[in-house]
Amino acid sequence: MIRIGKSAPLMRRINTENAPAFYALAHGGAWKDYLNLFHLPYTGWHLSYVVLGAAIAPTIHLDRLLATLLAFFLAVGIGAHALDELNGRPLQTKIPRAVLASLAAVSLAGAVVLGVVGGLAGTVWTLPFVGFGGFIVVAYNLGLWNGRFHSDGWFALTWGAFPAITSYWVQAETLTTPACLLALGCFAFSLAQRTLSTQVRNIRRRTVRLEGSIETSDGEVLGLDRSSIIAAPERALGLLSITAVVLAAGLLAARY
């Protein structure tokens, strides 16, 4: 039986100075703030979808893959995260707003330029992918239109399915059933990530008090605290982020 409420025997006050993410370095230097801004485990996770999309294409063009990886790193790894930090400081960094805005603008502009150049060099049908990507990064991370695009479904679509299907298109300049199935799998993978991370984020960033206990069938009472609640989902998130990168690297290596 799980009991959470005022009657529970354990009460723990959450230390609001704790790290806002399991991978975040403790504050104490500007370089740590900038490193935290990259959300490295999640950035690597989402870039792995780019590799997976290219790896199942009939022919892998290494130059196109590297350009696509760079574009998504600029858009997601830097631009999206800078906008996210600009919109509410979820990582509690001390990076000036002007610097965050500049990082977002320059990185998104770089990603769009890479996409446009690639589209003009290949097929102009790449340009709608570029346009959608630029739009959704801004709309999602700034919560535009009352957060209409800031939902679990949109996260899974734009951070999971979109990188995979875009990368495949850049390689093959067509869409196939295998590519769509891969995108669906990446959608589900990202939805699992979102499901695991939502409660963890709320506890780390918003919860100021947590109380409760678990009473086992043999009468033992185990206290609940922040660490015991978030340990399992955060361990799963860390392992999944590694798994995604290793799977992508393995599939790419198999093609070569």
CATH of the domain at 77: 1.10.357.140
Is 10 a domain residue?
Answer: no
Instruction: State mean pLDDT over 191-196.
Output: 96
Three-class HEC string of the chain: CEECCCCCCCEEECCCCCCCCCCCCCCCCHHHHHHHHCCHHHHHHHHHHHHHHHHCCCCCCHHHHHHHHHHHHHHHHHHHHHHHHHCCCCCCCCCCHHHHHHHHHHHHHHHHHHHHHHHHHCCHHHHHHHHHHHHHHHHHHCCHHHHCCCCHHHHHHHHHHHHHHHHHHHHHCCCCHHHHHHHHHHHHHHHHHHHHHHHHHHHHHCCCEEECEEECCCCCEEECCHHHHHHHHHHHHHHHHHHHHHHHHHHHHHHC
Is 220 a domain residue?
Answer: no
Total domain count for the chain?
Answer: 1
* Tens-digit pLDDT profile for residues 76-96: 999 999 999 999 899 989 999
- pLDDT at residue 210, rounded to an integer: 79
Average pLDDT, the chain: 90
Is 191 a domain residue?
Answer: no
Q: Which domain holds residue 120?
A: 29-185
Task: Give 135 or 28, the one with higher predicted confidence.
Answer: 135
Decide: pTM greater than 0.75: yes
Is 12 a domain residue?
Answer: no
- The fraction of the chain above a pLDDT of 70, given in percent, is 92
